[in-house]
Amino acid sequence: MAFIDYYKILGVDKSASADDIKKAYRKLARKYHPDLNPGDKLAEQKFKEVNEANEVLANADNRKKYDQYGEHWKEGEAFEKERSRRKASSDFDDFTYHQYGGESDFSDFFQSMFGGASFSGQNSGQGFGKFKGHDIAAEVSLDLEEILSTHKRTFDIQGKKVRITIPAGISHGQKIKLSGYGYPGQNGGPAGDLFITFLVGEHGTFKRMDTSLLADIAVDAFTAMVGGEVNFERFGDILKVKIKPNTQEGTILRLKGKGLPAYKKPEVIGDLLLTVRIKVPRDIAEEDKEIIENLRKKYSNG
């Protein structure tokens, strides 16, 4: 098996900090994400490699084992557990195993293990015990608009197609667990689990506060004075927002049911809170300036 350099895949040094690894992973995962590269097989392969590298290096214990055993870090852990168990139950200081009928010294472990040799314990007559496979940690990036409704996504994890349901209203940093979708177990042991963390990105217009959406709305000075309607775009929909006469800068307008759905309660919708930002017209005609000046004099002390 060719050595897989996970550090090289993420473009970081072996001495890279956990934060450096996290930043490198997020950058590359976004670059090669299938949703951004539809039909691109090379990008799909790169995306798999980046996720595999992150699954190992983002976990401190896994990274330590990888640094010690290389691509055989999973088998190395199983060996260490077996060695400890045998030492505890044996009166002998030396450990030997049978390799196709012959004995080999303990120091030949790596050659025989990674060369495909089978194992049986000299003392117990049994092979390694069953070990649960390692868990996988993955991140899923979502746009704010994507959490408006429940939807499904399909991922390729360890060669398996995994289709998950993403509930409406899911929060940034929220996690779900999929049992049995991690790395395969050792010697017939159960597979590990898949832990998915959802990352909800920031939006250019809206800020999220639980189920409420917060945003600014531009209102021209004349509409603010005499009242009227202003159009406001919410994720592609145009809302007609009523402006009362004498509306002041900073006034908060509440539009009920135009926020975000509650997690696992999609029928409960939060509100949209709009903060009024009064917009002053530019390039006023000379004849209009006189009218406005007269109005200013009349109402400036009001």
Spatial distance between the Cα atoms of 228 and 83, rounded to a whole number of angstroms: 80
**Distance (Å, whole) CA 38 – CA 187:** 38
Is residue 256 pLDDT above 90, yes or no? Answer: yes
Token readout for 11 is: 């473009």
Exposed / middle / buried, residue 96 (Cβ in 10 Å: 0-12, 13-18, 19+): middle
Whose CA is closest to 216, among 226, 225, 205? 205
- Domains, in order of start, for the chain: 6-114 (1.10.287.110), 136-200 (2.60.260.20), 207-299 (2.60.260.20)
**C-beta separation of 232 from 217 below 8 A:** yes
Give the C-alpha distances (Å, rounded to integers) separating 177 from 71, 183, 251: 26, 14, 43
User: Residue range 235-261: average pLDDT?
Assistant: 95
- Percent share of the chain, pLDDT over 70: 78
Record the pTM: 0.53
Average pLDDT, the chain: 80
- Pull the structure tokens for residue 176: 């779900």
- For residue 277, name the pLDDT band (cuts at 50, 70, 90): very high
- What's the rounded Cα separation, in Å, for the pair 53 and 70? 12
Residue 87: band (very low, low, confident or very high) from pLDDT cuts 50, 70, 90: very low
What pLDDT, on a 0 to 100 scale, did the predictor assign at position 36? 84
